[in-house]
Structure 1
Amino acid sequence: MNLLLSAAFVLCWSSGFIGAKLGAGSADAVTILMWRFLPLAAVLGLVAVTLTRHAWRGLTARAVLRQAAIGALSQSGYLLTVYYAIQLGVSSGTTALIDGTQPLVAGALAGPLLGQYVSRRQWLGLGLGVAGVALVTVADATAAATGTVEPGAYAVPFLGMFSLVAATFLEGRSPTRTAPSVAMTIHCATSAVVFTVLATATGAAAPPAEASFWTAIAWLVILATFGGYGLYWLVLRRSGVTEVNTLMFLMAPVTAVWGAA
């Protein structure tokens, strides 16, 4: 079961980079993200008041605020930087590679923050993985320096990576466990509010008429959010930070396969 969940997580999470690329040609990042989360939040809200009301019983205001903060970091902050980087011209594969540095950061913090210490063998694997990420990213950035992508654009995905790491540890240090359906609803509602405010403030709320835009939205809602994002927290709770970090190294090659397909 864990193997199937892990495989599904890698497949669905990596699909998000391709979904962002599909929508980047037809709309701004905040437009895509607003229309990704508005219908999603509405559907999850309807489910919450009809089918999963029991899961909300006993939920405190503090727990809701914590989940809102986790959603703001793991969805709003992370996705905005990923989409913005791709909009700036950074390839989806390189964005996935930069996100691959997350395991080293999370591994360094897992001990002091969560008491989940990383073995020497695991540190060796993490170091080799990050070395590969750095090598490819620097090579890609150097090649793009003479093209249309500004070298500074490659710093944007790192901000998203740190945002996701912060959300992971905030969840790990939570004194109470929130039902996955409740957490997903709060996270998506938070993101819907954040991106609607950003899109409205920048005059980018109106969706384009292109069919490719709505294809990208459907792709992102079904595969990336329900599949990738939902499974991220499920695998994290079942297997821990180290297991999730190991799987994150697979995102770049799987994203490359998605891109080729």
Structure 2
Amino acid sequence: MTTTPARSASFLLPVSFVALWSTGFIGAKLGLPSAGAFTFLTIRFAAVALLLALVSVVTRAPWPKTRREIGHMAVAGLLVHAIYLGGVFAAIGVGVEAGVAALICGLQPVLVAFAAGPLFGERLRPVQWIGLTLGLVGVVLVVAQKLALGLGTPAGVALVIFALLGITIGTLYQKRFCAGMDLRSGAVVQFAAATLALAPFATVLEGWRVEFTPAFIFALVWLVLVLSVGAITLLYVLIRRGAAAEVASLFFLVPPTTALMAWLLFGETLEPVSALGMATVVVGVALVNRSPRQPQN
């Protein structure tokens, strides 16, 4: 029988992850007017790498011992941080609606579900496929108004698709090659790799344009501590504890949660169709993560 602490963890971990991860678009909305996308992310990644390096030293975290381990961690960091966040932030920076970006990235659970079978031997039950379908339908409903405004430039859409591939492959790569990494020292390697990857773009394309406004400073501190430390750590814990497809299904909850936050913080409209979409997403994720019934003796 599952203990009460285990049940609490199985509920609180995914709920906390979705709540924290969903603030990413809010942070982008606050910070991007004051800095270029790549500049913003490079500063953020460097700050996280330094912070976690200090934590690793103080807590005596074990460091990777071989180049192979470092290489796998760096690749995962490039996929999950540099490509995913770089693509999303750059797309928003060139005018792609946040809701449209969320919709495209909302396809990630479907891609992970298709890939998890051949890679990890994970087989989805029919009810889980129904849940994935409902989740995708719910995401479409939530961002229906954004779609009416257009997808933005073709280059922006391409950036979001690139980001989608990054987070999808990164989730699978992390589970396959970095499942046993220390979450402190391993994250240092990953964020350092992402910093080095994006710094040239910040230099060449943006000239390190940044204005240290109160909104930018708040967004930077929030994204460093809450997103890059808190949410990413939770993501890796969830990947380690659960099936890849079930973890990925949680990303279906991000667009509706972000829409709700934007409504509360910025007064953005939340139409009945969006509320219906949110409910559909919740049902879909519940079906994907539903445990099969155990036969009774």
TM-score (norm 2): 0.79
User: Contact (CA 8 Å) 2:139, 2:252: kept in 1 or not?
Assistant: no
Tell me whether 1:30 sits opposite 2:38 in the alignment.
yes
Unpaired runs of at least 5, structure 2 = 1-8, 266-297
One of 114, 121, 129 as aligned partner of 2:127:
121
User: Contact (CA 8 Å) 1:8, 1:227: kept in 2 or not?
Assistant: no
- How many angstroms does 1:160 deviate by? 0.8
What residue is the counterpart of 2:210 in the other structure?
207
- How many angstroms does 1:232 deviate by? 0.8
One of 215, 240, 248 as aligned partner of 1:245:
248
CA distance in 2, matches of 1:175, 1:235: 13
What residue is the counterpart of 2:157 in the other structure?
154
User: Contact (CA 8 Å) 1:36, 1:221: kept in 2 or not?
Assistant: yes
- How many angstroms does 1:175 deviate by? 7.6
> Residue 73 of structure 2 aligns to which amino acid in structure 1?
Q
Shift of the 238–128 alpha-carbon distance from structure 1 to 2, 3 Å rule, reads same
CA distance in 2, matches of 1:248, 1:42: 28
What residue is the counterpart of 2:232 in the other structure?
229
One of 77, 80, 91 as aligned partner of 1:85:
91
Q: Bigger CA drift: 215-224 or 239-248? A: 239-248
> Residue 48 of structure 2 aligns to which amino acid in structure 1?
L
- How many angstroms does 1:238 deviate by? 1.0
Shift of the 90–175 alpha-carbon distance from structure 1 to 2, 3 Å rule, reads closer
- Residue by residue over 1:98-126, the C-alpha shift from the partner in whole angstroms, topping out at 9 and shown as x without a partner, is 21111110000110011111111111221
User: Contact (CA 8 Å) 2:45, 2:192: kept in 1 or not?
Assistant: yes
Q: What are the residue-to-residue correspondences of 1:105-144 with 2, within 5 Å?
A: 105-134=111-140, 140-144=146-150
> Residue 102 of structure 1 aligns to which amino acid in structure 2?
Q
- How many angstroms does 1:37 deviate by? 1.4
What residue is the counterpart of 1:185 in the other structure?
188
One of 62, 73, 86 as aligned partner of 1:67:
73
CA distance in 2, matches of 1:99, 1:175: 23
Shift of the 112–94 alpha-carbon distance from structure 1 to 2, 3 Å rule, reads same
- Comparing both chains, which one has the higher relative contact order based on Cα–Cα distances under 8 Å and sequence gaps of 6 or more? 1
Unpaired runs of at least 5, structure 1 = none
- Residue by residue over 1:27-61, the C-alpha shift from the partner in whole angstroms, topping out at 9 and shown as x without a partner, is 110111011112221222223333224x12x6211
User: Contact (CA 8 Å) 1:141, 1:151: kept in 2 or not?
Assistant: no
Q: Bigger CA drift: 26-35 or 209-218? A: 209-218
What residue is the counterpart of 1:98 in the other structure?
104
TM-score (norm 1): 0.90
CA distance in 1, matches of 2:185, 2:57: 11
What residue is the counterpart of 2:274 in the other structure?
none
CA distance in 1, matches of 2:175, 2:55: 26
- How many angstroms does 1:206 deviate by? 4.7
> Residue 18 of structure 1 aligns to which amino acid in structure 2?
I
- Residue by residue over 1:44-97, the C-alpha shift from the partner in whole angstroms, topping out at 9 and shown as x without a partner, is 2223333224x12x6211011000000000000000111012112223233222
What residue is the counterpart of 1:21 in the other structure?
29
> Residue 40 of structure 1 aligns to which amino acid in structure 2?
V
Shift of the 205–151 alpha-carbon distance from structure 1 to 2, 3 Å rule, reads closer
CA distance in 1, matches of 2:237, 2:146: 33
Shift of the 170–125 alpha-carbon distance from structure 1 to 2, 3 Å rule, reads same
- How many angstroms does 1:139 deviate by? 5.9
- How many angstroms does 1:6 deviate by? 0.8
